Amino acid sequence: MASTYTTNKVLEKPGNGDYVDTWNVPVNGDMDIIDQAFGGVTGLNATSGSATLTSSQYRSLILSVTGAISASVTYTIPSGVGGQWIVRNTTTDASGGPWTITFESGGGGTSVVVERNANIVVFSDGTNVRTAGLPTPGATTQVIYNSSGTLAGSSNLTFDGTNLSVGGSVTGGTTVSDSIGNVRNIPLNSQTSSYVLVATDNGKLISITTGGVTVPSSIFSAGNTVTIYNNSASSQIITQGAGVTLRQVATTNTGNRTLAPYGLCAVVCVAANTFVISGGGLT
């Protein structure tokens, strides 16, 4: 009689009367497969692209995915094959990206995106591939990586790999910082000679001792603000740059302004190349 094989690990089941005096052949072969299922490692080079896994590949407990990729890659467990696997994704982007590694079933059900540099347990029921021990995507109790390629804790919290958007409050145990520093502090830019403002001065305090400050054109956009402190015993000139309108607050006055010794003023961009300036010691 001909042998038959199990569904999930393809273990051989000899027919009655088969392997007379050579029973060791299927037994030893099945033992090797069982050993592979308990601790074997299959290396998958994602550089080769998407593929349907063969029985010799998906028998292993551990699936290690490596390679530099230029597109997203999907690995398919054949339809009807169930099991569980520990998956490790250490791929990198050869160009473009970020690219993803997805495990799916040929049965056409749910799939799982495996985050880079993470060890996760996935399982298949023959139709769906799911993660073990994580909440359903959209749950509000944890932030998880879902198959759309974003982090989502609720409708008010999303992360697309670059930008984190929060619909409510942000609380920090010590500080909350952005690209220019602690948001509770005004970052200081000290200057000891004539200085022309640059785009990265938005939100900063410019401390000057001599030479004055020039507000240039085509640098700032509406809503940008710079604070200027005259850290000297001499008046400093705030210069209206070419193509700029520098308007003194609550007046029709435009043009250069004088900041008295130890005076403080704010320069606010209200439109393209249009600014309003106000403060103590400003004339």
Written in H, E and C, the secondary structure of 133-199 is CCCCCCCCCCCEECCCCCEEEECCEEECCCCEEECCCCCCCCCCEECCEECCCCCEEEECCCEECCH
Q: Same domain, yes or no, for 145 and 43?
A: yes
Q: Same domain, yes or no, for 141 and 189?
A: no
The structural domain count of the chain equals 2
Q: Same domain, yes or no, for 125 and 259?
A: no
pTM of the model: 0.51
Give the domain-ending residue among 102, 131, 151: 151
Question: What CATH number does residue 267 fall under?
Answer: 2.60.120
Which H or E run contains 271? strand 257-271
Q: Same domain, yes or no, for 129 and 201?
A: no
Asked, for residue 78, whether it belongs to a domain, the answer is yes
Asked, for residue 172, whether it belongs to a domain, the answer is no
Give the domain-ending residue among 151, 171, 194: 151
Asked, for residue 158, whether it belongs to a domain, the answer is no
**How would you write the pLDDT of the chain (283 residues) with one tens digit per residue?**
689 999 999 999 999 989 999 999 999 999 999 999 999 999 999 999 999 999 999 999 999 999 999 999 999 999 999 999 999 999 999 999 899 999 999 999 999 999 898 889 999 999 999 998 655 554 444 455 554 555 555 666 766 667 777 777 777 778 888 777 787 789 999 999 999 999 999 999 999 999 999 999 999 999 999 999 999 999 999 999 999 999 999 999 999 999 999 999 999 999 999 999 999 999 9
For residue range 164-223, what is the model confidence (pLDDT) as tens digits? 777 777 777 788 887 777 877 899 999 999 999 999 999 999 999 999 999 999 999 999
Q: Same domain, yes or no, for 146 and 235?
A: no
Q: Token pair of 158, please? A: 């999303």
Q: Same domain, yes or no, for 205 and 92?
A: no
Q: Same domain, yes or no, for 133 and 38?
A: yes
Q: Determine the structural domain holding residue 241 and report its residue range.
A: 181-282
Q: Same domain, yes or no, for 119 and 229?
A: no
Q: Same domain, yes or no, for 113 and 188?
A: no
For residue range 43-65, what is the model confidence (pLDDT) as tens digits? 999 999 999 999 999 999 999 99
Q: Same domain, yes or no, for 15 and 88?
A: yes
Q: Same domain, yes or no, for 246 and 119?
A: no
Asked, for residue 164, whether it belongs to a domain, the answer is no
Q: Same domain, yes or no, for 34 and 134?
A: yes
Contact 194/211 with Cβ under 8 angstroms?
A: yes
